[in-house]
């Protein structure tokens, strides 16, 4: 038998490798608004849908408007697309608002040491991320004391600040989502505390007591400042 006359085996076609498009490039992240460009979760959409349901029940939206907005909610892909849908309604919340529903505090320590701030012909500032003591004594004599609680960690629900100002100034700034109360007297001076009531019943409570003589004691919220993730910050601070 002549082997040279045997037919050659048929060549199998080689699979073709897909070629990536040369002009396709990944989209750049929206650095100007990283929160708004986040992908929306099912929880985000459900929260917006709840707001729309409340608005329908209260008569703020009619059935047609509610239906149109619900459709837009479940078509939305990012948090930034969800915000405009409820911007004109009360109770509008998206993932930008990170205030927790409940707050956990550390162990009760009523006998803990007080934090003392003194300014005599000088100035003292306490701000940034710091753990607030249960009691703080602030004394200003021809000086200035600034206490900024907007980034601080509250290890207890009730915080008391005793402020005394004699020919001086004591200013306290708090975030907008806590409760703020005060009781004091101004003698030829000013004692002013802007009362706040936090929406969360477990939110920190700051009480300002004291007096001013030819001086000023003032406590008010700092616009746009919110304490967030209270429980997480507390656990990190306590080393848990």
Distance in angstroms between the alpha carbons of the first and the last residue of the chain: 86
What value does the CA radius of gyration of the chain take, rounded to a whole number of Å? 30
Instruction: Say if residues 86 and 60 touch (Cβ distance below 8 Å).
Output: no
Give CA–CA dist 53/72, Å, rounded: 14
Look at residue 201 and tell me whether its pLDDT is greater than 90: no
Q: For 54-79, how does the pLDDT look when each residue is reduced to its tens digit (9 = 90+)?
A: 787 777 888 888 888 988 988 888 88
Residue in 216, 209, 122 with CA at minimum distance from that of residue 161 = 209
pTM over 0.75: no
The pLDDT score that the predictor gives to residue 155 is: 82
Please tell me the predicted confidence (pLDDT) of residue 9.
55
């Amino acid at each position: 038998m002549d082997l040279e006359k045997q037919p050659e085996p048929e060549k199998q076609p080689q699979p073709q490798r897909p070629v990536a498009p040369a002009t396709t490039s990944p989209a750049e992240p929206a650095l100007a608004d990283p929160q708004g460009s986040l992908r929306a979760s099912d929880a985000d959409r459900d929260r917006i849908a709840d707001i729309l349901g409340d608005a329908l029940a209260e008569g703020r939206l009619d059935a047609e408007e509610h239906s149109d907005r619900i459709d837009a909610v479940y078509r939305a892909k990012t948090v930034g697309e969800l915000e405009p849908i409820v911007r004109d309604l009360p109770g509008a919340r998206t993932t930008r608002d990170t205030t927790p529903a409940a707050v956990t505090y550390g162990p009760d320590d009523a006998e803990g040491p007080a934090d003392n701030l003194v300014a005599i012909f000088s100035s003292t500032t306490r701000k940034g991320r710091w753990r607030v003591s249960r009691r703080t004594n602030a004394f200003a004599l021809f000086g200035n004391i600034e206490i900024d609680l907007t980034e601080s960690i509250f290890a207890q629900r009730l915080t008391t600040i005793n402020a005394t100002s004699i020919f001086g100034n004591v200013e306290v700034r708090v975030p907008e989502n806590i409760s703020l109360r005060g009781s004091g007297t101004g003698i030829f001076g000013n004692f002013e505390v802007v009362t706040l009531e936090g929406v969360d019943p477990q939110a920190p409570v700051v009480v300002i007591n004291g007096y001013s003589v030819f001086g000023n004691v003032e406590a008010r919220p700092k616009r746009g400042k919110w304490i967030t993730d209270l429980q997480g910050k507390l656990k990190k601070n306590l080393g848990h």
